[in-house]
Amino acid sequence: MIHAYNEDILPIVQRKLASMFEIAVVIKNINIDNFAQGFVSSPVCRAFESADPVFVLGRSATELLSTVLGDAPCKDETSSYASPQYWVGHTLAYMQWYFKKPYADLISAFPCGQLLLEYFPYHEMDISKSVDLFASKLHLESTLKRLRSAKGLSQNDLAIMSGVSIRSIRAYEQGAADISKAQADTLYAISKVLDCSIEDLIT
């Protein structure tokens, strides 16, 4: 799967968006869904979607928050622990990077107020569990799954007919492994069974 930007930048985006959510909701007492809507309509949102270095690296969370809210930067900092609101922003940033979807689409499919209710138990789980949760809300279907389903084949059928392990088939369909990085013989074997081109599989 091709992500929104370089993974090295992701922790910075996560920390800053998480801090913005925490300050806005916990300290400024802004409703989380109202803040989320303000965020997606701001230039900060568009900058975060592409990891624009001017915003992501050049401005603090409080400066970014002031741009979203249209007021003077505050001096409040985030708490020393990860609050549920911090977790919402942190998770949302990861999902935007992972799925390469606009924040507006993610928030429309899974409003932040609803995501906040998932803090227990998801904040203690591996991030892959949250990825699965968002995938179910987004109703995502991989190209491989769509092509396989169109041929009327199960994952097991495709694995047997192509000689590719069912574990790999599942990983490609769930986005846990990037099919575009699969070996050429794997792509060829799957494409022959599905009667499609290799380009069809990886686009």
Q: How does pLDDT run across 121-151, given as a tens digit for each residue?
A: 999 999 988 988 998 898 777 889 989 999 9
Q: Position of tokens 């990825």? A: 131
Question: Which of residues 117, 138, 159 is at a domain's end?
Answer: 138
- Co-location of 92 and 16 in the same domain: yes
Nearest to 202 by CA among 185, 181, 186, 183: 181
The answer to whether 49 touches 93, Cβ cutoff 8 Å, is: no
State the CATH number of the domain containing residue 170: 1.10.260.40
Question: Which of residues 102, 123, 138 is at a domain's end?
Answer: 138
- Co-location of 60 and 85 in the same domain: yes
- Co-location of 130 and 166 in the same domain: no
Question: Which of residues 88, 116, 138 is at a domain's end?
Answer: 138
Integer Cα distance of 21 and 93 in angstroms: 11
177, part of any domain: yes
Q: Tell me what the mean pLDDT of segment 35-46 comes to.
A: 97
- Co-location of 93 and 48 in the same domain: yes
* Residues ≥6 apart with Cβ < 8 Å to 120: none
- Co-location of 101 and 167 in the same domain: no
- Co-location of 155 and 194 in the same domain: yes
1, part of any domain: no
Nearest to 40 by CA among 98, 96, 84: 96
The answer to whether 197 touches 191, Cβ cutoff 8 Å, is: yes
DSSP percent split of the chain into helix, strand, coil, nearest 5: 70, 0, 30
Region of poorest pLDDT, from 41-50, 147-156, 170-179: 170-179
Structural domain count, the chain: 2
Integer Cα distance of 48 and 32 in angstroms: 18
Q: Position of tokens 């300050």? A: 23
Q: Which domain holds residue 192?
A: 143-202
2, part of any domain: no
Percent above pLDDT 70 for the chain: 97
- Co-location of 124 and 162 in the same domain: no
- Co-location of 117 and 35 in the same domain: yes
The answer to whether 28 touches 61, Cβ cutoff 8 Å, is: no
Give the model's pLDDT for residue 3. Answer: 84
- Listed as own residue / partner, the contacts of 80-85 with beta carbons closer than 8 Å and 24 or more positions apart are 82/18, 82/123, 83/22, 83/26, 84/116, 84/119, 84/123, 85/21, 85/22, 85/24, 85/25, 85/26, 85/32, 85/116
